[in-house]
A and B are shown apart, each in its own frame.
Chain A
Amino acid sequence: SQKIEQNSEALNIQEGKTATLTCNYTNYSPAYLQWYRQDPGRGPVFLLLIRENEKEKRKERLKVTFDTTLKQSLFHITASQPADSATYLCALESDSNYQLIWGAGTKLIIKP
C-alpha cells in the first residue's frame, strides 16, 4: 500500500533563508499531490496542489516540485519568516480517489 514519508525531525531555519521540506512516497505515482499547513490546535489548511504532469508550481513565496521518477515532492518557502513556523503536511490521492493519504508532517521552526 502507498506510504508517505516526511522528515519527522523538526527543521530549524534562520529567518530570511529558504526552507525546503521533503515528501517521499513509496508506491504508485499519484495524479496529484497536495501540501497543507497545520498550526497547533487547528485543522490543516490547503496551500498548493501539483499535478503529475507539472514539474513545478508557485504561489507567492511558496514553490512545490514533483518528481515522479524520484517519487518525491519538495516544498520550498523562500524569504522565510517566523510566521511560517508550523507543521507542513503532504497528502496524495489514494487509488480509490475517495481519500487522501497523509504524511505525518514536518515541523518547521523559523528563528528570528
Chain B
Amino acid sequence: NAGVMQNPRHLVRRRGQEARLRCSPMKGHSHVYWYRQLPEEGLKFMVYLQKENIIDESGMPKERFSAEFPKEGPSILRIQQVVRGDSAAYFCASSRSTGAPYNEQFFGPGTRLTVL
C-alpha cells in the first residue's frame, strides 16, 4: 500500500509565477489536509478537503491560494503570483476519516517551494 505521494519534491519559481503542488492520498483515504512548515517552526494548517468539497479553509490566505480535491486525480494546492514569503515546505496528509482512529494523519514527503 503506497503511502501519501507528493510531487514535485522540490519546486523553484520566480516571483509572479504560479506553483502547483500535487498530493495523492493513501488508498482508501478520502480526507486530505495541507500544511505549511517554515524552518524551525511547527506545522500550520491550511486547508482540509474531502472529495470535491472544501471542508475547512480557515488556514489558507484568502488571496492567491486555492485548493481542490477532484473526484478523480490528486489534490492540488495552487499558489498564484508567488512571492518570496511563500517559500516553505508544504506537506499533505491524508486520513481515513475524522471520527476514527481519531484523525491519525499520514504525511507525504512534502514539496519544498523556493521562490527566487
Using A34-B102, A49-B102 as known contacts, list a sample of 13 further A-B pairs with CB atoms less than 8 Å apart, ordered by residue number in A. Answer: A34-B104, A43-B93, A44-B43, A46-B104, A49-B101, A89-B42, A89-B43, A93-B102, A98-B48, A98-B55, A99-B59, A102-B35, A102-B42
How many chain A residues touch B (Cβ–Cβ < 8 Å)?
Answer: 26
A96 within 8 A of B: yes
How many chain B residues touch A (Cβ–Cβ < 8 Å)?
Answer: 26
Chain A residues within an 8 Å CB radius of B101: 49
Chain A residues within an 8 Å CB radius of B52: none
Q: Which B residues form the contact surface with A (CB < 8 A)?
A: 4, 33, 35, 40-45, 48, 55-56, 59, 91, 93, 98, 101-110
Q: How far is the CA of A34 from the CA of B106 in the complex (A)?
A: 12
Chain B residues within an 8 Å CB radius of A97: 98, 103
